[in-house]
Structure 1
Amino acid sequence: MSFSVNTNASALSALLNLNKTTTDLETVQTRINTGLKISSAKDNAAIFSIAQGLRADLKGYNAVKQSLDRSISTVDIALAAGGSISDLLIEMKEKAVAAADSGLDQTSRDALAEDFEALRDQITTIINNAEFNGTNILDSGADVIVAITNPDATQTITVDHQNLTLGGPNITFTAGATINTQTLAAAMVSTVDTALDNVNSVLTSLGAGGKSLEAQRVFSDKIADTIEVGIGNLVDADMAKESANLQSLQVKQQLGVQALSIANQAPQAILNLFGG
């Protein structure tokens, strides 16, 4: 051991160790405060970059779920409307069959015709209200449902437009259709039957589309949860481990301060060489 008043090697070594302990302690405290072992690129550039990419995917899947939710709601509205129209057509067939009876008096047939026309007009009212978020896939327009299914918005599920308006391809009788004569009533039975078959086919198609959307929604939840867990595995701090490290480093810091204090007192021994 050399004695020097210019250089205190022991103090320098003690200071170096104390600074390292203080830096480690700050790192642990940051992890405890943020809950993250990797909170920036300087902690681990490669892992941070991977985590950021996964976070972007997770945000993308949040948008996917919103798109699917809107689409599911639109289909649900269309299914409810289509189901109501199917019920109306069943009632209209009953009126038409009754009015087609050649033995029925005209007064009774006129009453049946009035009921038939009220049911007919109700179809139009339902169609006009079968809208969600500005989209109506049952009217005479061209709206379709397009839901994104991946975070890059490059894959979609489409539910086609179905025209259920009066005089349209599925319900061929017009807004002026009536059954106030035996001949008209007899012809209307077949027309309503065809419309009922068409509407039920539309409901089948919409139901299949809705089922696909709901299945994709469940899958998107699972994917998002898996990504979130994956991000946590990469960047989350082990709080139990960090708590133990914190206590260890706090003790080590206190000992380091004492060691530095002792090392700083060493040059005082030089005075003894001079009888101090």
Structure 2
Amino acid sequence: MIANSVNTNAGAMVALQNLNATNTELQISQGRINTGKKIGSAKDNGAIWAIAENQSAIANSLNAVRDSLQRGQSTIDVGLAAGDTVVDLLNKMKEKALAAADTSITSASRATLAADFTTLRDQITKAVSNAKFSGANIVDGSTDQMSFLSNDSGDAFTVVARNLSLQGIGLDSDSTFATAADASAMISTITTALSTATNKLASLGTNSAGLDAHLTFINKLQDSLDAGVGNLVDADLAKESARLTALQTKQQLGTQALSIANQAPQSVLSLFG
């Protein structure tokens, strides 16, 4: 039996211990609600916190990978646009050469066709030289390949460049014709150039599709990592809300219990009536 004492109030001590424990749990629950995380620091759970931080670092580093791949995507898209222009210009050049190969037209008409042919030829050079994105050109023959980030380790995703300049497709800066025979020979040259350009453009398109697929994978990987980190450290706010309500009720009851326990020594006075 616990002795009646004014020096030691065992009931009050037990009530105070329980109230302190409740207050500690209440602070933890309030912290989780405020931050939205059940593990906000290494103090909460060192092992899980370390895993989450490492995975978050990987997910964040993938931002740089995504930016690099998107830059590559834009560089190739600009090159493909230039390639489409080159193919269109070659088709028009073939039409001019075919018309000039007609022996029934006059020399003046053939000269006009040659002038148009030359203008179209020069436009190829302009289209290819202007196909730059952020200073990079994948179709002007200035580089053999371009590399972009493929993962958080810094490995490269390499895209083979395609030369769509006049020299790259089998023409030169003075390709033209003066006679019907020249024009007839030019038809074959342009046909070959057209085949070369379309093949290179198709190859570049394949590289572009591969880069697009890898970029999609990186986006999904980053989303998966973010979701995984969330599973490790995010708090279940619905559960925490219910727990907070319960703890607040428990706190009120603990306060009342402590108040009752503190009143116990007063009953000793009645013994001295």
Q: Deviations over 1:14-62 (max 9, x none)?
A: 1111111011001111111111111111111111111111111111222
Amino acid at match of 1:159: V
**Matched residues in 1 for 2:171 and 2:201: separation?**
19
Q: Deviations over 1:147-205 (max 9, x none)?
A: 22222222x32111222222x2x323222222122232222222211211111111111
Decide whether the 8 Å contact of 1:136 with 1:143 is kept in 2.
no
1:6 equivalent to 2:7? Answer: yes
2:193 to 178, 191, 195: 195
Decide whether the 8 Å contact of 1:124 with 1:165 is kept in 2.
yes
Q: CA deviation at 1:143?
A: 6.4
Range that drifts further, 187-196 or 26-35: 187-196
**Matched residues in 1 for 2:262 and 2:272: separation?**
19
Decide whether the 8 Å contact of 2:141 with 2:161 is kept in 1.
no
Query: Matches of residues 93-172 of structure 1 in structure 2 within 5 Å?
Result: 93-142=94-143, 144-154=145-155, 156-166=156-166, 168=167, 170-172=168-170
Amino acid at match of 1:260: L
Decide whether the 8 Å contact of 1:25 with 1:246 is kept in 2.
yes
Aligned CA-pair RMSD = 1.4
Amino acid at match of 2:271: L
Amino acid at match of 2:230: G
Q: Deviations over 1:100-139 (max 9, x none)?
A: 2333321111010011011001101101210111110111
**Matched residues in 2 for 1:133 and 1:7: separation?**
80
Moved over 3 A (4+): none
Amino acid at match of 1:97: L
Q: Which residue matches 2:85?
A: 84
Match of 1:146, SS state, is strand
Q: Which residue matches 1:40?
A: 41
Q: CA deviation at 1:223?
A: 1.4
**Matched residues in 2 for 1:140 and 1:65: separation?**
26
Match of 2:147, SS state, is strand
Q: Deviations over 1:186-230 (max 9, x none)?
A: 222222112111111111111100100111122122212211211
Q: Which residue matches 2:24?
A: 23
Q: Which stretches in structure 1 are left out of the alignment for 5+ residues?
A: none
1:49 equivalent to 2:50? Answer: yes
Decide whether the 8 Å contact of 1:60 with 1:152 is kept in 2.
no
Amino acid at match of 1:231: V
**Matched residues in 1 for 2:125 and 2:171: separation?**
12
Aligned pair in 2 of structure 1 residues 262, 143: CA closer, same or farther (>3 Å)? farther
Amino acid at match of 2:94: K
Decide whether the 8 Å contact of 2:162 with 2:201 is kept in 1.
no
**Matched residues in 2 for 1:192 and 1:37: separation?**
69
Q: Deviations over 1:74-103 (max 9, x none)?
A: 111111100110111111111112212333
Amino acid at match of 1:244: A
2:180 to 157, 161, 182: 182
Decide whether the 8 Å contact of 2:161 with 2:204 is kept in 1.
no
Q: Which residue matches 2:231?
A: 233
Percent identity among equivalent residues? Answer: 51
Amino acid at match of 1:272: S
Q: CA deviation at 1:274?
A: 2.6
Q: Which residue matches 2:63?
A: 62
Amino acid at match of 1:206: L
Q: Which stretches in structure 2 are left out of the alignment for 5+ residues?
A: none
Q: CA deviation at 1:69?
A: 1.2
Q: CA deviation at 1:8?
A: 1.5
Range that drifts further, 83-92 or 157-166: 157-166
TM-score of the aligned structures, taking structure 2 as reference length = 0.95
